[in-house]
């Protein structure tokens, strides 16, 4: 019995990670297709129908707002669940394991933001978009990395997963702090009260998901009305969902958090994100010329993703290694680490989301932002795939329970 329990504890994280990577690979492919269809719709005879459908109002909100402020809450709820699980019981539960991806995530957010700010420094209206190139799209980046199969070590996939999760955490903080509208104190107070009730359910040991989800709907509505972006409600709800610790490992797979995470994953990967991509990636290329690609917003976003991400991530890993504070992921070459750093420049989902918040009332800047996100992400994806292809010629055998550990 003890041996069975031991095997369960050792191999379950590996199995969960394998399932997660498979889901993200498929989700990444669907995201690419949805983005391509959006560009096709926006640049064809279907453009009027495409735009009119998104602008149609249902129940007080447009279809576009229902997608961005409603459905995307499910995506942020899933992100919050993944962050909580990884920090408490996953690959990021120990501080040494957090150090390398954590510093890399900080570098990968800071340098792109600085590049964007340097290009847009004299334009206050465009400087608001400084955080757009700071995000990494986990579905796209893992999807590309997974195409190389066993030619890249598992530790490198774990490193990218951890980095992207911490990157998402940083993006959520940025959205909550820097991209909020005028605050309504009564609604904000109501949201705080509901959040307190959710925490109370957790502390009282309530394990049924229904009370959490019902209160979560109320939390979403109050947050939407408060001026804080509604998707933050998804993350706050996730943090209150119970996750049993190691002393209840036998029931770990059936904890409320993991049940909800597994239930949400296919909806997020195969419905929410593709709808978001289709609704927001469509931008007309009419009038787009080479000089227009050099305007500050487009150039700042594209260079931030393509150049800033690779400098920030790879530079952070290299600095940590040179100082002796960490080493690169086990059995990964420096060329492979550089390839992953390039893939971090694929910002699609989160970059578009932050860009829509930054330029919500300026359609021309929004269009320029979308072109920058699409071009920068595409170039980063192609460059990362090329570098990984050059640096990953032979299969790398996996070992059970492989983690982000220093090489011997």
Tokens representing residue 5 in the block? 């329990």
Cα–Cα distance, 336 to 387 (Å, whole number):
7
350 Cβ neighbours under 8 A, 6+ residues apart: 135, 136, 137, 167, 168, 171
CA distance 136 to 109: 9
Q: Say how many CA atoms lie within 13 Å of 367 toward its Cβ.
A: 13
Structure tokens at 355: 């860009």
pLDDT tens by residue, 143-160: 788 778 778 888 888 888
Q: Is 59 exposed, middle or buried (0-12, 13-18, 19+ CB in 10 A)?
A: exposed
Q: CA–CA separation, 32 vs 22, rounded Å?
A: 16
| 8 A C-beta contact, residue 310 and residue 345 | yes
The residue among 225 and 29 whose pLDDT is bigger is: 225
Cα 62 to Cα 64: distance, rounded to the nearest angstrom: 5
Read off the pLDDT band of 4 (50, 70, 90): low
What does the pLDDT look like over 226-250, one tens digit per residue?
888 888 899 899 999 998 754 454 4
pLDDT in tens, 260-286: 999 998 888 889 989 998 998 888 887
DSSP state for residue 62 in the 8-state scheme: E
Rounded percentage of the chain residues whose pLDDT exceeds 70:
87
> Considering only CA atoms, which of 256, 392, 300 is closest in space to residue 337?
392
Backbone φ and ψ of 93, nearest 5°: -75, -20
The domain limits of the chain are 57-180+229-246+253-391
pLDDT band at 400 (very low <50, low <70, confident <90, very high): very low
Q: According to CATH, what is the number of the domain 57-180+229-246+253-391?
A: 1.20.1530.10
Say what the pTM is: 0.77
Instruction: Between 164 and 4, name the one with better pLDDT.
Output: 164
Structure-token pair, residue 40: 């096709």
């Amino acid at each position: 019995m003890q041996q069975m329990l031991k095997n369960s504890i050792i191999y379950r994280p590996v199995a969960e990670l394998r399932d997660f990577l498979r889901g993200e690979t498929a989700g990444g492919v669907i995201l690419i297709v949805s983005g391509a269809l959006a560009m096709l719709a926006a640049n064809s005879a279907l453009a009027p129908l495409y735009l009119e459908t998104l602008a149609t109002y249902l129940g007080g909100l447009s279809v576009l707002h229902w997608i961005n402020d409603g459905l995307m809450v499910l995506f942020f709820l899933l992100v919050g669940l993944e962050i909580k699980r990884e920090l408490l019981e996953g690959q990021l539960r120990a501080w040494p394991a957090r150090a390398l991806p954590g510093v890399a995530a900080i570098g990968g957010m800071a340098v792109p933001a600085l590049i964007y700010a340097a290009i847009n420094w004299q334009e206050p209206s465009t400087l608001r978009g400084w955080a757009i190139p700071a995000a990494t799209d986990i579905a796209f980046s893992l999807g590309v990395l997974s195409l190389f199969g066993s030619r890249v070590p598992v530790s490198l996939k774990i490193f990218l997963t951890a980095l992207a999760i911490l990157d998402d955490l940083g993006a959520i903080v940025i959205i909550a702090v820097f991209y909020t509208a005028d605050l309504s104190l009564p609604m904000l107070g109501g949201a705080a009260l509901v959040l307190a009730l959710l925490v109370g359910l957790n502390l009282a040991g309530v394990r049924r998901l229904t009370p959490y989800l019902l209160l979560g709907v109320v939390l979403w509505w109050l947050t939407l009305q408060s001026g804080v972006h509604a998707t933050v409600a998804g993350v706050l709800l996730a943090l209150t969902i119970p996750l049993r610790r190691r002393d209840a490992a036998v029931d770990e797979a059936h904890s409320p958090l993991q049940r909800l995470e597994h239930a949400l994953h296919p909806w997020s990967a195969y419905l929410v994100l593709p709808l978001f991509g289709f609704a927001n990636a469509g931008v007309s290329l009419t009038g787009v010329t080479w000089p227009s690609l050099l305007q500050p917003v487009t150039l700042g976003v594209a260079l931030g993703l393509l150049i800033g991400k690779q400098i920030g991530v790879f530079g952070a890993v290299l600095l940590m290694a040179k100082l002796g504070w960490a080493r690169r992921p086990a059995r990964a070459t420096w060329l492979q680490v550089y390839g992953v750093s390039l893939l971090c420049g694929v910002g699609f989902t989160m970059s578009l989301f932050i860009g829509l918040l930054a330029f919500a009332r300026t359609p021309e800047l929004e269009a320029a932002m979308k072109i920058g996100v699409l071009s920068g992400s595409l170039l980063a994806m192609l460059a990362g795939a090329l570098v990984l292809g050059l640096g990953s010629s032979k299969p790398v055998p996996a070992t059970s329970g492989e983690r982000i550990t220093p090489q011997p």
